[in-house]
């Protein structure tokens, strides 16, 4: 799978606010996930090269966050924003992929 395909499928996993939760969370029933977990659930195992590449692309698209933070933290803290912020981050990453 290409980075663009991975990011597009992950974005679809959280494309509605009721499918998304903030920070590094997953709901108990697994129906709501955060931006970083959307990359893994049903797509990739954690720490696979493709996961790390997609996570890095999301981190690069998280404008305004400390570039010295880990990729995961940069994605997780955008999650602290709104669903719209997370969708914009995904859209930037997909456009750059």
Q: Where are the domains of the chain?
A: 3-96
Taking only the tens place, the pLDDT of each residue in 44-69 is: 766 788 888 999 999 999 876 778 88
* Close Cβ partners of 26 (under 8 Å, ≥ 6 residues apart): 32, 33, 34, 37, 41
For 22, which DSSP code? S
Entry pTM? 0.88
Across all residues in the chain, what is the average pLDDT?
87
In the prediction, which pLDDT does 96 show? 93
Identify whether the C-beta of residue 66 lies closer than 8 Å to the C-beta of residue 72. Answer: no
Bridge partners (DSSP) of residue 20 are 33
Q: Residue 43 above 80 pLDDT?
A: no
């Amino acid at each position: 799978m290409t980075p663009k395909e991975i990011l597009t499928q992950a974005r679809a996993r959280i494309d509605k606010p009721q499918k998304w939760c903030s920070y590094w969370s997953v709901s108990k029933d697994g129906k709501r996930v955060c931006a970083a977990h959307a990359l893994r659930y049903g797509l990739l195992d954690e720490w696979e090269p493709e996961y790390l590449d997609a996570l890095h692309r999301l981190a690069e698209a998280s404008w305004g966050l400390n570039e010295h933070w880990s990729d995961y933290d940069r994605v997780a803290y955008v999650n602290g924003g709104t669903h719209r912020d997370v969708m914009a981050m995904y859209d930037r990453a997909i456009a750059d992929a």
